A = this chain, B = another copy of it.
């Protein structure tokens, strides 16, 4: 049964893996959840890989800035890479603010709706700003970083996400457990 995401490709027919797409404000806990989820899946013998700013912005997307066009291209490339990983049979965990509904919809379109799992890491702006681990909110408030999501650029909440992870209320471990419970038998 060919389920490959690239119909003309290869001899091996694999069931594509899911793409766990974590969207939320800066500091909401996306990367922390992603990394803990990767460890949990490894312990379960399920191959997974995290895509986030730490490997995309320094490599594939390092030629892109923060203009509207570049942000759009940034998301497109991330979705295309996630699709390749999903096609290879690796559970793909993508952790990106991805603040706009239209761009998330495009990513879902590229990856395929049946493999795209939208998870809203729903931590309030107040909590994210109070944490301000990287000092980015302070810089955004001071006008040093323009177009900062949640401050002077909108975060468009998912209308109908597959999952909501309240990482300001529950622990990271509880959020990971929620993903694993909800995705049981589907990863």
A positions within 8 Å CB-CB of B: 6, 8-12, 35-36, 38-39, 42, 47, 49-52, 54-55, 58-60, 77, 80-81, 83-85, 87-90, 110
Residues in B neighbouring A42, C-beta threshold 8 A: 12
Q: Specify which of B50, B60, B81 is in contact with A9 (CB 8 Å cutoff).
A: B50
Q: Which residue of B lies closest to A77 (CB)?
A: B60
A88 to chain B, nearest CB (A): 4
Q: A49-B88, A60-B77 are in contact. Are A6 and B55 (CB under 8 A)?
A: yes
Q: Are B54 and A6 in contact (CB under 8 A)?
A: yes
Q: Are B55 and A38 in contact (CB under 8 A)?
A: no
Q: Are A60 and B84 in contact (CB under 8 A)?
A: yes
A11 to chain B, nearest CB (A): 5
Residues in B neighbouring A77, C-beta threshold 8 A: 60, 77
A64 to B97, CA, bound (A): 27
Q: Are A9 and B55 in contact (CB under 8 A)?
A: yes
A77 to B47, CA, bound (A): 23
Residues in B neighbouring A54, C-beta threshold 8 A: 6, 8-10
A87 to B50, CA, bound (A): 10
A39 to B50, CA, bound (A): 25
